[in-house]
Chains A and B, each alone.
Chain A
Amino acid sequence: AQSVTQLGSHVSVSEGALVLLRCNYSSSVPPYLFWYVQYPNQGLQLLLKYTSAATLVKGINGFEAEFKKSETSFHLTKPSAHMSDAAEYFCAVSATGANNLFFGTGTRLTVIP
């Protein structure tokens, strides 16, 4: 079975500060891991994904995430927050070869000017 836990339903950072959104996964098989972002009244946009290649994954808009098997984590980071990063972020997992995504409960990021 697959599941994801996102620590912190709300995170606030100052503009220009480091963004760190936490995600821990549980999977009985090698996982594929994803981060999606959702802006108000919109669907989900893929930020980045891990599919068993490089453990450090770079995505769009300056975001990156590192797959750490020993910690079962896939935390999302960005060195310097921008006002436009304010949104809700979802971590998701799927099993290798599976068709559906299991999502975390989401983290709402607020960027303070």
Chain B
Amino acid sequence: KAGVTQTPRYLIKTRGQQVTLSCSPISGHRSVSWYQQTPGQGLQFLFEYFSETQRNKGNFPGRFSGRQFSNSRSEMNVSTLELGDSALYLCASRSGTNTDTQYFGPGTRLTVL
């Protein structure tokens, strides 16, 4: 099975712009979670989608949003970018039950100038 894929792998944006990141889960997986990784804050949970519904949300401002499509692919959007949004954004998928392992993609490296 192909693993979790994320596109693009690298992005450079300027402050005030918005950005959309994409994640394709492992085939058959219905749950997609997003995490932000920064040197200062480490790995932090953003949100999880399951069957097109947001199931859980971390402590991030409303500028961070996401959605999931019927084929389980997910997108994450960040509006009005700030310098502090520079990070590695990781997507993880699992089949859906809470005991399942989350499998991570390679991440999208976002740089905000």
Which residues in A have some Cβ–Cβ distance to B below 8 Å? 32, 34, 36, 41-46, 49, 51, 90, 92, 94, 96-106
Number of interface residues of B (CB under 8 A): 24
**In the bound complex, CA of A51 to CA of B45 (Å):** 20
Contact check, B104 vs A99: say whether CB atoms are below 8 A apart: no
Name which residue of chain A comes closest to B91, CB basis. Answer: A43
Partner of B90 from the list A43, A96, A104 (CB cut-off 8 Å) is A43
- Nearest CB in chain A: distance from B68 CB, A: 13
Given A44-B90, A51-B99: A100 in contact with B104 (beta carbons within 8 A)? no
Q: Known contacts being A42-B106, A43-B90, A105-B42, is A99 close to B99, with CB within 8 Å?
A: no
- CB-contact partner of B43 in A42, A94, A98, A103, under 8 A: A103
Q: Which residues does chain A contribute within 8 Å of B43, judged by CB atoms?
A: 90, 92, 101, 103, 106
Q: Shortest beta-carbon distance, A13 to chain B, in Å?
A: 23
Which of A34, A43, A51 contacts B107 (CB under 8 A)? A43
Partner of A101 from the list B55, B102, B103, B107 (CB cut-off 8 Å) is B102
- The residue of chain A having its C-beta at the shortest distance from the C-beta of B105 within the complex is A43
Is B55 within 8 A of A106, CB to CB? no
In whole angstroms, how far apart are the Cα atoms of A100 and B43 in the complex?
A: 11
Partner of B106, one of A36, A43, A46, A104: A43
B101 at the interface (CB under 8 A from A): yes
